[in-house]
Structure 1
Amino acid sequence: MLLRIVDRLRAARESEEGFTIIEVMVAMTIFAMIAAGVAAGIVSTLYLTQDNRSREAALNLANQAIDLARSTKDVFTLDDDTSSQNVGNQSFTIKQTTNWINSDGTDTPNSCGAGSGVLAYKRVSVTVSWTSGTSPRQKSVVLDTLISPSSAVSSANASTIVIGVRTANGGPNSGVAVTITPVSGGASSLANPPAATDSNGCSYAVGVTPGTYRVTISKAGNVDPLGATAPYYSVATVAGGVGNRTFLYGQAITATFGSPLNLKDGVTAKLPASLPVSYEYNGIVNTFQTTTATVFPYQWNVIAGGLTSTCTDVDPTNWPTSNKLATSPNIFNASDGTTPGFLPTTTLTATARAPMGIIDVKMGGIDTVLAATVKNTSAVAGGDPGCSPSTTYYFTGMTPSKATTIALPFGTWTLRGTTAIGGLLSSDSQNVKANPDASNQVVSTSGNTVTLDPRSVPTS
């Protein structure tokens, strides 16, 4: 038997039979497919394991953040915060957001808790996110909790004052000093002065005796929309209630008034001495008597002249349009909300340009000073809205018997020289006329009176 087995093995070894190339390739292909499937399964399992580990680590980090928030002694110090932490080779982003819930159930839209009722709880939401190893999509876990103060922030006999400070873009303004002083109605000095605003732009005063208080804020380099460096408001409180006030307050920028907006590039015009410039935003008007102004960084409408309730013709949008004359949309109140005349150039500076009436004036005699005085102090039907009281601007350095391009606020003006000898402006219409390099205005003259109308040609 053993010899027979040996003979068969020797015959098999000496045989020339075997696998063909095609058979080998088919076998290798099948093996590769099976191996690839097994490998994909192994990789998927590894990724799933990694993702589960990441989720578990994220939950641990979220729980740690929640526990830390709950252990905070002063709930008012809980602010929005974002941080990062590595666990193993995985990086996690931890974001904490906070806001107050009042006793009436109001979940205040701002983290300061400026609403009705008593401040009852503070909601803390912690989001821990990471980028999954299986895709660039970010994954996250979220935990929420409610934290009540160690003692009531408002009692039946006391109240709370909540202050919020927001910048121009609606973000919080931190580090703003807050002063609260009693005014009337039983108000008394605070035992514990409020702290500066936190990272949410919030400050609080608790245990306040009901009454009316003056709340003043201040921060170097900051102003409110009216230009006040230390704005203040009165806040009234009642027993068991919350008095609140939100300020718009932020970094001031310096705006410098330049050449008229409706004058072609490369063309210059002489401006009157001591020309006031008005800045208008959402009904707020600030007027400055200098060419530089310190303003809060809104997109201001820039107006040449002092805009007041009795002097409205300097603002082109106040001119009536019933006669089918329309203010140019390319300069005033563009449909996209931009104001081409106000252009921030850095975080602290801006250029300001306003459309103005542009005319060429030729002085008579030897006078070098031109006086322009408001003629229409009251409104003219269908035309000049008027400006009261009458104002006079002066142009110095005029060249006698030579046309000079000047710029004036829109309105009706009487032009004259300032000397008695040959200094009166000639009534010849050729000596006062529109400048061809200016646009978006209508100029009409009568003797030495000129009307500078900001409305364009008829629209139909």
Structure 2
Amino acid sequence: MERLRPRSHAIRQQSVLSDDAGVSLVELMMAIMIFAIAMAGITAGFVSVGQKTRLNKDRVAAANLASRELEIARNVFNASSTGPATIAADLDVTNGYPLPGGTAGSPLVVDSVPYTVFRRAQWLPAGTGQSPCDGGSGVTYPTLAVNVKVTWPYMGQVKPIESNTLLTPPKGVLASSTSFVAVKVLGSNGLGKEDVPVTIAGTGGTYTATTAEDGCATVAVASSGTYTASLNSSGWVDFYGAANPSKTVTASSSSISRLTFNYDRAARLQLSLTTAAGYALPTGLRSITLGNTGLQPSGTQIKDIGTGGSATITTLWPFSDGYTIWAGSCGQSDPAAAGGSRASAVVVPS
């Protein structure tokens, strides 16, 4: 037994040494996994910081371009007696003042990023900063409100950079007898519609403008007289389904003449006329009547659907409370005329 003790002791020493000699494969894999997770977080952090840095750089460049656009517009406005008319002649301008080496109308490139610089001008004839579509009719001392908006690719959730200013012509530059025509465009929700092109033509020439955020477009016309304002946006209609509505107004000296349009994207209605089993549709039936109290003055509108008994109507005003519908176009076809009740209103999507 005494001879075996040294051997047993050697075995115990060898076992202890083998346990401390290194790490197992499982431990190695765990270490690699922890390292990979840590590196992924660090890498994501670097990427996020890089993106924010680039985005901040883009925003600074956009802000500089917006300030540059306003400064150029201000210089042109104040350069001569014709300056205000020059700026007001083009109420909407995109990339109008290129950088050195660029071309008008093309994006302005800074550090390989193409920027779009959009400038919109609107006359405020009342001289109080109030929208000409909502204020008084008298012209006190007009100012020109200028808004500049700069956008660029890959903005994500970042809002466009905007800058605003008011430009006031020197006394005597704008004739005290200048006339203004203001057109307000309201959508189906009763709020102003932005970016709707408006054409105003009459005694003093033809003018174009685009509605601002409040739905108002204003032009200074060359002379008093009769002017016709018209709208023509693809897929849009007025109350009565007209895609190109127009209205006439008389512009008077030193005053603001106003017009209001209800204009929005057209709604669509797909319908098919059916009868109870065993009955046929009346011969020659080709019309339906739409009812809504907003359809003045009668509260109804007749639509021709042909003789097939089905149709798609694409020129409807998107009333939020929808339309009641019945077959026929004469007064006797109205269910309410015979003491009955009309069907529930159908809300049509735009």
Task: Report the TM-score when normalising by structure 2.
Answer: 0.55
Pick one of 226, 230, 236 that aligns with 1:213.
Answer: 226
What's the counterpart of residue 259 of structure 2?
245
Letter in 2 for 1:206: V
Pick one of 151, 163, 171 that aligns with 2:183.
Answer: 163
What's the counterpart of residue 4 of structure 2?
none
Larger Rg: 1
CA distance in 1, matches of 2:169, 2:250: 25
CA distance in 2, matches of 1:24, 1:290: 79
What's the counterpart of residue 79 of structure 1?
92
Residue 333 (structure 2) pairs with residue 314 (structure 1):
yes
Q: How many residues align?
A: 286
CA distance in 2, matches of 1:114, 1:149: 19
Structure 2 SS opposite 1:139: coil
Deviations 1:204-242, CA, capped at 9 Å, x for gaps: 243443xx7352537599875446687543435555432
CA distance in 2, matches of 1:50, 1:35: 22
The structure whose residues are more often helix, as a share, is: 2
Residue 25 of structure 1, CA deviation: 8.9
Asked if the contact 1:173/1:249 (under 8 Å) is kept, the reply is: no
Residue 311 (structure 2) pairs with residue 298 (structure 1):
no
Asked if the contact 2:144/2:167 (under 8 Å) is kept, the reply is: yes
Residue 169 (structure 2) pairs with residue 145 (structure 1):
no
Mapping of 1:17-416 within 5 angstroms? Answer: 20-22=21-23, 40-41=41-42, 44-45=45-46, 47-68=48-69, 70-72=71-73, 73-75=86-88, 77-79=90-92, 98=120, 100=122, 102=124, 103-106=127-130, 108=131, 114-117=133-136, 120-126=143-149, 128=151, 138-140=157-159, 142-148=161-167, 156-164=176-184, 170=193, 172-174=195-197, 177-180=199-202, 189-190=203-204, 193-198=205-210, 202=217, 204-209=219-224, 213-217=226-230, 224-226=238-240, 231-237=245-251, 239-248=253-262, 260-261=273-274, 263-264=275-276, 268-272=280-284, 277-281=288-292, 282-284=294-296, 285-287=300-302, 291=306, 296-298=315-317, 301-306=324-329, 311=331, 313-317=332-336, 327=341, 331-334=343-346, 338=347
Question: Quick one: percent identity of the two aligned structures?
Answer: 15
Residue 53 of structure 1, CA deviation: 3.0
**Structure 1 residues 63 and 268: alpha-carbon distance in aligned structure 2, compared to 1, 3 A threshold:** farther
CA distance in 1, matches of 2:42, 2:223: 66
Asked if the contact 2:326/2:333 (under 8 Å) is kept, the reply is: yes
**Structure 1 residues 22 and 195: alpha-carbon distance in aligned structure 2, compared to 1, 3 A threshold:** same
Residue 116 of structure 1, CA deviation: 1.8
RMSD over aligned Cα atoms: 5.5
Deviations 1:243-269, CA, capped at 9 Å, x for gaps: 22133468999999x8645x2489632
Asked if the contact 2:149/2:162 (under 8 Å) is kept, the reply is: yes
Asked if the contact 1:276/1:304 (under 8 Å) is kept, the reply is: yes
CA distance in 2, matches of 1:25, 1:276: 81
Residue 161 of structure 1, CA deviation: 0.7
CA distance in 2, matches of 1:26, 1:287: 82
**Structure 1 residues 55 and 229: alpha-carbon distance in aligned structure 2, compared to 1, 3 A threshold:** closer
Deviations 1:323-380, CA, capped at 9 Å, x for gaps: xx7x36xx3324xxx26xxx99xxxxxxxxxxxxxxxxxxxxxxxxxxxxxxxxxxxx
CA distance in 2, matches of 1:35, 1:289: 70
Asked if the contact 1:277/1:303 (under 8 Å) is kept, the reply is: yes
Letter in 2 for 1:243: S
Letter in 1 for 2:201: T
**Structure 1 residues 139 and 286: alpha-carbon distance in aligned structure 2, compared to 1, 3 A threshold:** closer
Residue 122 of structure 1, CA deviation: 2.0
Structure 2 SS opposite 1:52: helix
CA distance in 1, matches of 2:247, 2:30: 82
Asked if the contact 2:241/2:316 (under 8 Å) is kept, the reply is: no
Letter in 1 for 2:72: S
Asked if the contact 1:216/1:232 (under 8 Å) is kept, the reply is: yes
**Structure 1 residues 101 and 220: alpha-carbon distance in aligned structure 2, compared to 1, 3 A threshold:** closer
Structure 1 SS opposite 2:257: strand
Residue 160 of structure 1, CA deviation: 0.5
Q: Which ranges of structure 1 fall in alignment gaps of 5 or more residues?
A: 1-15, 181-188, 345-460
Task: Report the TM-score when normalising by structure 1.
Answer: 0.44
Letter in 2 for 1:121: L
